[in-house]
Structure 1
Amino acid sequence: MTEKLLIRIDQSAKQAIHWLIYSAEQQIIASGEYKKLSDLAQLTEKAQGRETTVLLSAAVVQLKTIELPTKWNRKLEQALPFMLEEQLACDVDNVFIAIGEPGSKDDKPTINIALCDRDMLAELVALFDEHQIQVKHILPDALLLPEQADDELAVIELDGQWLCRLGQWHGCVIEPSWGADYLHALAPKQITHFSPADALPEVAPKIAKEAEYELPLALLAKNLGNTPFNLRQGLFAPKKSTPQWWKDWRSGLIAASVALVGFVTVQGLQIVQLQNQADQFKAEAIDTYKQAFPNRKVREALLRKQIETELRAISATKQGGFLDLTDKFVSVYSQVKDFQPETLRYDHKRNELRIRVKAKDFQVFGQVKTILEQKGLTVQQGSLNNDGDAVIGEIRLRGEA
């Protein structure tokens, strides 16, 4: 961002607004003036994409340098309102105190401060927010005049008034009607003026900076980078602006976040469902094991190993055995549809496998019997019962005894 917007608010009865758009490369880009504060809305568009600084008339901001009992620290900052209470003509709670740079005078620590009406500043900040003008800095205008020696005065004429800066931390605005008396009381050793000063009283030698005669705001803009002070601090510190990349990508990122949350939620639900199914299958396996081996103690963590051990033992007792019978029986699944075993029982003495089966119709049992007999098994078919849309019956498979 190279272009900047400078807005000067006159807090007197005039309430005029002076503005200037400038950049270090192009200098003055545009400038103008509005007659009343209600015209501020006309600067909304000009402020977009530009760093905005607001200058308050030095008539409403008092600059002071306070001597401190010790080096500036956090505790002194908290005690500062009480230290100033006797120096103020109004309630200290109605005053906003902005902290400047610490320093020293006659080997004593000091702190520069600026005082202004708290409500006035709050209303001004709210007014700029209302017009969507993001203000980064608020400064007293006289503080941007070129700094002089402690007893020397810098002045420039602006809209019939004179902006004055004495030394490093003293500023004011004077009117021609009473300015002469003020300057005599101030008694500067030298007056450096950046606009024609014939109307100023001869209270001190005048040094004309004719080469720098220009728009007052242009002169003030040149010194903006040399002033670290900002009234926008503490209660009035600017809110962090939203980065442009967030404005550009916000909608997409929000949509992606919603999609991600939805995906994680669906995956979580699927995991829960699978875990429930796994628990159900595990319970069924335990029940089947208990039915097949009622005298055996079930160890859930070792259930698979227990089943494998029992099956090896069964298979070793008879030639062919349980594994041979189940292997031949399982081969039926690839050839017959709508055929579902419900329970299996094995009699190792007779080497006989009894299977309770649920099938689609009676023909399925005949088809299964034929296939198993072709594999060399003795097949006995028990009674068949019609159970609604299915037929339930028993098949006995026998190998060599």
Structure 2
Amino acid sequence: MVRLAQGKLSVLEEKAADREVIVLLPSDQVSLKTVMLPTKWGRKLEQALPYLIEEQLAQDVDSMFIAIEQPTMVDEKHAIRIACCDKTWLSNWYSRFHEAGIEIHRMVPDALLLPNAQDGEASMIRLGEQWLVKQGDWQVAAVESSWLETYLHAAKVSIVNHFSPIEHAFAGIQWNAQEAEYDLPLAVCAKHLTLHKLTFNQGAFAQKKKQPQWWADWRSGLIAASVALVAFIGVKTVQLIHLNNEVANLKAEAVAAYQEAFPGKVVRPQLLRTQLRSALAQLDGGPETSFLKLTEQMVTVLSEVKQFSVETIRFDQRRNELRIRARGKDFQSFGQVKALFEQQGLSVDQGSLNNDGDFVVGELRVKGA
């Protein structure tokens, strides 16, 4: 906890390292108020709060910073506890701590951390030439020693529980010396940090979330890895889209081929393989089967002979014969094709062959069994 002159902040930098710093604001600069509300506390009331308390402030409300503690109830009515101070004054304190390299975890009025007092009572402790005074649990003051008697009578305090020795006991007031708890003001305040949740670390002065050290050490590597992962996923996504497009095109070609081979049949793309097998089974033993077998053998043969291309194919169902008009590199290519057909047990009649520029054009008649 800190309550010292601004010029001495630099001496705390080393001690404040890796510690939670709680700053005690002088209570003579802070005003605590309980604001009665027309309804339950919510976001709309939070936005309207400055206008609800404008008449209660001695300064322009725009120049004040308002810290909100928590909603409460007063005589079964909704209320909110707030603390106000000059915005420029508070900003100056934050700037000083920042310049000194000290991170503030909480800011709270010093007198608020005194022990709570009952109605008509006050808790007090001496701090320099001032007395910190707390009445109830939400009324505080910092009073010069010369004004103390006047203040206590004006505040109608009849019992004082004091945590520092007092030189002059004023008449009309019961003085209870808490000698067993006499201590330095900061020590007494530190014991009661949990009494209230109030902090001025709100709004524009909210504490920024500190990044863990492991993030600072690994941030660059993790960012690079993330970029690489995103790039990898992007490439794979593009590849997947390309493959899906190819699959769709192949399916369309397969459906078109099936419709051409079996006109009038309904095609179900997801069952195309099953439909094809069924259609071939129905054709088994028929003339279509002979055509398919011959064309299958023809594809096998032509795949082994280079620079030999088929121009036209005709199928004579009655003779179970394929009539192939083709173009080859030379006369030997026709002989090679004829020999390969015959090796598969087929009968081949070769028609006339003619030169056509750099190629030889001719006809083959391939007869099945």
TM-score, shorter chain, exceeding 0.5: yes
CA distance in 2, matches of 1:398, 1:195: 123
- The total of aligned residue pairs comes to 361
CA distance 1:397–1:122, shift in 2 (3 Å) = farther
Determine helix, strand or coil for the equivalent of 2:240: helix
Aligned to 1:58: 27
CA distance 1:69–1:87, shift in 2 (3 Å) = same
- Which ranges of structure 1 fall in alignment gaps of 5 or more residues? 1-5, 17-34
Q: Does 1:221 align with 2:216?
A: no
Aligned to 1:399: 367
Contact 1:155 1:164 in 2 (8 A): yes
- Identity across matched positions, percent: 41
Contact 1:354 1:394 in 2 (8 A): no
Aligned to 1:7: 2
Instruction: Say which of 254, 257, 261 aligns to 2:230.
Output: 261
- Which ranges of structure 2 fall in alignment gaps of 5 or more residues? none
Determine helix, strand or coil for the equivalent of 2:241: helix
CA distance in 1, matches of 2:311, 2:103: 78
CA distance in 2, matches of 1:343, 1:332: 15
CA distance 1:214–1:324, shift in 2 (3 Å) = same
State the AA in 2 paired with 1:210.
E
CA distance 1:378–1:218, shift in 2 (3 Å) = farther
Alignment of 1:148-297 (within 5 A): 148-176=117-145, 178-179=147-148, 181-183=150-152, 185-186=154-155, 188-198=157-167, 202=170, 204-234=173-203, 236-239=205-208, 242=211, 254-255=223-224, 257-282=226-251, 285=254, 296=263
Determine helix, strand or coil for the equivalent of 2:2: strand
CA distance in 1, matches of 2:229, 2:16: 40
Q: TM-score, structure 2 length as denominator?
A: 0.72
Instruction: Say which of 91, 97, 111 aligns to 2:60.
Output: 91
Contact 1:325 1:397 in 2 (8 A): no
State the AA in 1 paired with 2:347.
T
Aligned to 1:102: 72
CA distance in 2, matches of 1:394, 1:134: 96
CA distance 1:249–1:345, shift in 2 (3 Å) = farther
CA distance 1:244–1:187, shift in 2 (3 Å) = same
Greater shift in the superposed pair: 307-316 or 159-168: 307-316
Contact 2:354 2:361 in 1 (8 A): yes
Q: Does 1:347 align with 2:342?
A: no
Contact 1:144 1:223 in 2 (8 A): yes
CA distance in 2, matches of 1:344, 1:126: 92
Determine helix, strand or coil for the equivalent of 2:119: coil
Contact 2:305 2:336 in 1 (8 A): no
Q: Does 1:114 align with 2:83?
A: yes
- Per-residue CA deviation, residues 1-37 of structure 1 (Å, 9 max, x unaligned), is xxxxx333x5xxxx34xxxxxxxxxxxxxxxxxx445
CA distance in 1, matches of 2:45, 2:335: 102
Contact 2:67 2:200 in 1 (8 A): yes
C-alpha deviation, 1:223, in angstroms: 0.7
Alignment of 1:32-51 (within 5 A): 35-37=7-9, 39=10, 42-43=12-13, 46-48=16-18, 50-51=19-20
CA distance in 2, matches of 1:384, 1:209: 128
Determine helix, strand or coil for the equivalent of 1:7: coil
CA distance in 2, matches of 1:384, 1:304: 44
State the AA in 2 paired with 1:399.
K
State the AA in 1 paired with 2:368.
E
Contact 2:169 2:175 in 1 (8 A): no
C-alpha deviation, 1:398, in angstroms: 1.6
CA distance in 1, matches of 2:197, 2:218: 34
Determine helix, strand or coil for the equivalent of 2:29: coil
- Per-residue CA deviation, residues 39-74 of structure 1 (Å, 9 max, x unaligned), is 28x5377353x44432211111111344x3756544
State the AA in 1 paired with 2:170.
E
CA distance in 2, matches of 1:319, 1:109: 92
CA distance in 1, matches of 2:156, 2:202: 34
C-alpha deviation, 1:321, in angstroms: 1.1
C-alpha deviation, 1:145, in angstroms: 0.9
CA distance in 2, matches of 1:393, 1:162: 121
CA distance 1:186–1:345, shift in 2 (3 Å) = same
Determine helix, strand or coil for the equivalent of 2:166: coil
Q: CA RMSD in A?
A: 4.7
